[in-house]
């Protein structure tokens, strides 16, 4: 390119100065004619050289275009970073557990919770949703909650946000029938909720296979397992294998069936974000409060930690490259503490209510909505 420009400049010099010198020799007595000829020749040279240089408009617009493109790209990255940052802060919840009365030596506590109003968490503008906002967000949705008794309590907490107290009284009796499924349609908002009793990871895998065979995919899926496996199988490695199988079945439900790598779902060169599927973590187990000898022997801290390691290594969670967002019941129950449970395993409604609001705020973040 440089050689072509140099050649063009040399040719221009020949074209420009030789004729001008000759014209100056013959036209020196007529200055007007001389400068007219020089101007004509200069224009001819300009036309001759124009292919070798970028246009002024290109020169002026390129930096602006580059800056605009860079700004747009930067804004997109910042938006994605902010979204992921806020998702990671959703569990920064503070519980207040205050004694309110004492009857026959038993102390009763008032439990409340909320997000800090200062620091990075406050910038995310998390919010507790009332019935109207929850109804708007879940309007027309199919929600599936699958798992053990922890999942049943999560389903109860969700329904308590969209149903009035009178209807909730009838719901509790049907929802808590021992080891059974439950289905309800909230006709006011067109929301359907299915609770599926699936205490083992293998049960959840069967559910994923059934959903795929029927080509029916919920708008929101919450599922979890571990407690029953810890109690009845008590083999963390076997639990890890079950989670690997479950991860594969969940992945098969995702759009375009993306491959899951160490850095998350990938579909070639197209960025991919999984749908809002959630994993329900196990609660903090308070061994001394567990109500049977078998539970106290099998569900200790060592067993819990081994099962948590298998969960992380399975990479079923999005934070480790998998498809499921974690609803970290363990951190919530730990923050609420012993005063929030009567049996060391099932906790006060405030814990599961907080978990539902974490899920709802995650849905808002993922869908770029504000209420």
**pLDDT confidence of residue 365:** 93
pLDDT category of residue 20 using cuts at 50, 70 and 90: low
23-33 average pLDDT score: 52
**pLDDT confidence of residue 17:** 56
**Domain parsing of the chain, residue ranges:** 129-255+273-367
Structure token pair of residue 61: 């617009």
Q: Are strands 220-223 and 277-280 parallel, antiparallel or unpaired?
A: parallel
- Nearest-5° angle of CA 266, CA 268, CA 270? 75
pLDDT category of residue 36 using cuts at 50, 70 and 90: low
**pLDDT confidence of residue 370:** 72
**pLDDT confidence of residue 296:** 97
pLDDT digits (tens, 9 = 90+) for 98-132: 888 777 777 788 999 999 999 999 999 999 999 99
Contact 184, 193 (CB under 8 A): yes
pLDDT category of residue 166 using cuts at 50, 70 and 90: confident
361-366 average pLDDT score: 94
Structure token pair of residue 351: 């814990």
190-217 average pLDDT score: 96
Percent of the chain clearing pLDDT 70 (strictly above): 72
3-state SS class at 274: coil
Q: Which of 20-34, 133-147, 233-247, 288-302 shows the lowest mean pLDDT across its residues?
A: 20-34
**Is 182 a residue whose pLDDT tops 50?**
yes
Question: Which range has the top average pLDDT, 43-52, 171-180, 335-344?
Answer: 335-344
pLDDT digits (tens, 9 = 90+) for 211-238: 999 998 999 999 999 999 999 999 999 9
**pLDDT confidence of residue 39:** 56
- CA torsion sign, 254 to 256 to 257 to 260? negative
Which residues 6+ apart lie within 8 Å of 98 measured at CB?
A: 109, 110
Average pLDDT, the chain: 82
239-266 average pLDDT score: 75
Sequence-ordered alpha helix ranges (H) in the chain:
2-27, 31-49, 56-89, 120-123, 131-137, 149-162, 165-175, 201-213, 227-232, 236-251, 293-298, 301-313, 329-336, 349-366
- Nearest-5° angle of CA 30, CA 34, CA 37? 140
**Is 164 a residue whose pLDDT tops 50?**
yes
126-153 average pLDDT score: 96
Which residues 6+ apart lie within 8 Å of 290 measured at CB?
A: 296, 299, 343, 344, 345
Judge residue 298's burial from the number of C-beta atoms within 10 Å of its C-beta, 0-12 exposed, 13-18 middle, 19 or more buried. Answer: middle
| pTM assigned to the model | 0.75
pLDDT digits (tens, 9 = 90+) for 53-109: 444 344 344 444 444 444 444 444 455 567 788 999 999 999 999 888 777 777 788
Among 154, 131, 130, 133, which residue's Cα sits nearest to residue 144?
154
Decide if domain 129-255+273-367 falls under CATH 3.40.50.1110. yes
**pLDDT confidence of residue 19:** 56
DSSP state of 264: E
């Amino acid at each position: 390119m440089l050689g072509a420009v140099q050649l063009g400049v040399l040719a221009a010099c020949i074209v420009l100065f030789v004729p001008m010198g000759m014209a100056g020799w013959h036209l020196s007595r007529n200055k007007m004619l001389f400068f007219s000829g020089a101007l004509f020749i200069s224009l001819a040279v300009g036309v001759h050289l124009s292919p070798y240089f970028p246009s002024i408009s290109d020169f002026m617009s390129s930096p602006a275009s580059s800056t605009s493109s860079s700004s747009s790209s930067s804004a997109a990255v910042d938006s994605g970073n902010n979204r992921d940052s806020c998702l990671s802060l959703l569990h920064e919840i503070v519980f207040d557990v205050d004694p309110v009365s004492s009857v026959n030596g038993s102390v009763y506590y008032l439990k409340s919770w909320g997000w800090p109003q200062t620091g990075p968490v406050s910038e995310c503008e998390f919010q507790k949703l009332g019935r109207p906002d929850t109804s708007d967000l879940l309007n027309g949705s199919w929600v599936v909650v699958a798992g053990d008794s922890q999942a049943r309590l999560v389903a109860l907490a969700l329904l308590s946000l969209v149903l009035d107290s009178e209807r909730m009284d009838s719901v509790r009796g049907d929802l808590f029938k021992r080891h059974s499924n439950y289905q309800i349609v909230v006709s006011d908002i067109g929301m359907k909720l299915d609770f599926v009793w699936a205490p083992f990871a293998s049960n959840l895998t069967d559910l994923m296979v059934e959903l795929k065979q029927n080509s029916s995919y919920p708008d929101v899926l919450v599922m979890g397992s571990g407690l029953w496996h810890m109690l009845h199988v008590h083999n963390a490695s076997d639990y890890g294998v079950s989670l690997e199988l479950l991860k594969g079945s969940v992945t098969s439900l995702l759009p375009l069936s993306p491959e899951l790598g160490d850095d998350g779902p990938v579909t070639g060169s197209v960025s991919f974000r999984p749908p809002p599927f959630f994993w329900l973590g196990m609660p903090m187990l308070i061994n001394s409060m567990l109500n049977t000898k078998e539970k106290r022997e099998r569900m200790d801290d060592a067993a819990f930690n081994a099962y948590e390691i298998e969960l992380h290594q399975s990479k079923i969670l999005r934070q480790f490259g998998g498809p499921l967002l974690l609803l970290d019941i363990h951190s919530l129950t730990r923050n609420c503490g012993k005063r929030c449970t009567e049996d060391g395993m099932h906790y006060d409604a405030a814990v599961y209510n907080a978990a539902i609001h974490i899920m709802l705020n995650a849905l808002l973040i993922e869908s770029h909505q504000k209420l």
